[in-house]
Homo-oligomer: A and B are copies of this chain.
Amino acid sequence: MRADARKNRDHLLAIARSTVLEQGAQASLRDIARRAEVGLGTLYRHFPTREALLEALLRADFDTLACRADELAQAGDPARSLVTWLHEAIAVTHGFSGAIALMVAAIADEGSALHASCVTLRAAGTRLLRRAQEDGVARRDIDGNDLFALISALAWLADQPPLVPRADHLFDVIADAILPGRPGTPHAGGAPGGSAVQPR
C-alpha cells in the first residue's frame, strides 16, 4: 500500500470515528469524506461499504474481546468471568448507535464485512457461557445464539438516549436471568405475602 494511500486511509478512519460517535452509524459517507478533505471516491476505494468502514473502526476491539474471552475462561469464577465479558462486549459498540443492527444483520449475511467479527464474538461468548453452564451457575436452556441476541438487545438499549439511565440496571436484571445461581442481590419479591424490603 502506497504511503499516501495509507495516510488517507488512517485519516479517514479517524474522522469516521468521531463522526460516527457524533451522528451514529448512519452518518453520511459524503460528509465523512468532506470532513476528511478527501474525494468521495477515495472513501469508497478504501471502504467499499458502510459495513467495511464500521468493521475497520471496530476490528481492534473485536480482537481484544476474543482474547479477553480466553483470558477470562482460565481465570477463576465462571459466573464472574461471563458477566465481566458481557460488560466489555456491550461496551465495544457503545456510542456507535445503529451499528448493532448492522451487526445482527451481518451474522446472517456471509457477504457482509462484519460477518466474521460477529461470528467470532458469538463463539467467544459461547465458550464462556458453556463454562458457566457446566459449573451449574448459568441457565441451561440458552445457547450462544441466545447470548448474542441478549448482548445485541442490551447494546441497542444502551444506545437509545432515553433508555441510557436504565441500561446498567437492566444489564443486571438480564445477567440475573442468565445466571440465576450466581451470588447476587436478592432482587426477588420474596414469598407471596412476604414483606421484602425495597432496594434502590
Contact = CB atoms under 8 A, between A and B. Distances in A.
A140 B199 contact: yes
A199 B143 CA distance: 12
Interface in A49-69: none
A190 B198 contact: no
A187 B157 contact: no
A123 to B, nearest CB: 16
Interface in A143-200: 145-146, 149-150, 152-154, 156-157, 160-163, 165-166, 169-170, 173-174, 176-178, 180-181, 185, 187-194, 196, 198-200
Given A142-B173, A149-B166, A173-B139, A160 B105 contact: yes
A146 B162 contact: no
The oligomer's copy count stands at 2
Interface string A17-44: 0000000000000000000000000000
Most buried by B among A145, A153, A192: A153
A108 interface: yes
A101 interface: yes
A70 interface: no
Contacts of A153: 153-154, 156-157, 170
Contacts of A166: 145-146, 149
10 contacts: A105-B161, A138-B189, A139-B188, A141-B185, A146-B169, A152-B160, A153-B153, A173-B177, A180-B187, A181-B191
Given A146-B170, A181-B192, 19 more contacts: A105-B160, A105-B161, A105-B162, A135-B189, A137-B189, A139-B189, A140-B188, A141-B169, A141-B187, A146-B166, A146-B169, A146-B173, A149-B170, A152-B163, A153-B154, A153-B157, A153-B170, A180-B180, A180-B189
